[in-house]
Amino acid sequence: MRAAFYTRQGEAAEVIRIGEQPRPEPGPGEVRVRLRSSGVNPSDWKMRRGGGGRALVAPLIVPHSDGAGVIDAVGDGVPAARIGERVWTWNAQWRRAFGTAADYVALPSAQAVPLPAALGFAEGACLGIPAFTALHAVRLADCGPGQRVLVAGGAGSVGHYAIQFAKLRGAEVIASVSSARKAAHAIAAGADHVVDYREQDLGDGVQALTGGAGVDRVIEVDLARNAAYYPKLLKPGARVVVYGTTGLEAVLPAVVLMQKSAALSFFTIYEVAPGEREACLRELLPLLEDDLLLHTIGQLLPLEEIVRAHELVERGEVLGNVVLGID
């Protein structure tokens, strides 16, 4: 089969190659997916580049956890009725050598989720990390009616979904952004207000929008950058759910957090407990079936342009998801 792969870490153009690799066979409890798309996420370039304790899990890596396609074979213990099913994947390459940047991937049956007819394969490649992360964060924050929710980085792939999930749960949403174009993108997703932190202090902007009260919940993409604003951002009893940060450490305004009785929760989407992931799926799948979510494909490229795709995501140049078409 055709696959993109690397055997060492470094710059995309220096380490990623495209060539023939053995077609995988599904083992017990697994399915094989003939892929039609592969999603590129920040974690993919970070793993490829290395650093921060990210080491290769195998001598050869086919990258990417997200993708979509059609099941064409099943292993022992998996109903043959799954053959022909349109699916999207999650965690395809997490702690595994072979991800979705290839013609085929074999993975546990539970990690191939039915893809509703209303969604194309490109949209399916946006769900595994961006949508799952956003929904799990909104669920941990317990966003609901009457709450003000700040979605930090509201124009990002995760933030864009988080805005939608929080709004569907009845919350009032403020999104932080860094340009007028990103502000329009966040508003299109349903944000009630935006604060352009390049134009004004984030804390001051939220104070102005909330009459000095602050917000009940924060969906946090960058704890290291934004924690300094929490004294102005948070209401007493506020809850912050952190799914990302820059750097290995963050400085917290500990006294203020204690005074406000604020709660901080942390998670990585790769290590979500099975029961929590199942709960996410129970909430997510009806929304997908009813086509209630806005999916943004910022760039669709062929597999042969995977180097460019990694570079675009690494530089943060694309508004929306970067997806590779595999055909």
15 with 75, same domain?
A: yes
pLDDT of 141: 98
pLDDT of residue 66: 98
The structure's pTM equals 0.96
Q: How far are the Cα atoms of 62, 101, 138, 159 from residue 135, in angstroms, in the given order?
A: 27, 25, 5, 10
For the chain, the domain total comes to: 2
Domain identity same for 45 and 115: yes
What pLDDT score was predicted for residue 14?
Answer: 98
Rounded to whole angstroms, the Cα distance separating 284 from 126 reads 13
Q: In the structure encoding, which two tokens stand for residue 77, read together?
A: 């213990």
Please identify every stretch of the chain with a pLDDT value under 70, giving residue numbers as ranges: 52
Same domain, 266 and 301: no
> Which pLDDT score is estimated for 154?
97
β-strand pairing of 86-89 with 30-40: unpaired
Which pLDDT belongs to residue 268? 95
Residue 43, classed as helix, strand or coil, is: helix
Q: Where in the sequence is the domain holding 201, given as residue range(s)? A: 130-270
CATH, residue 211: 3.90.180.10
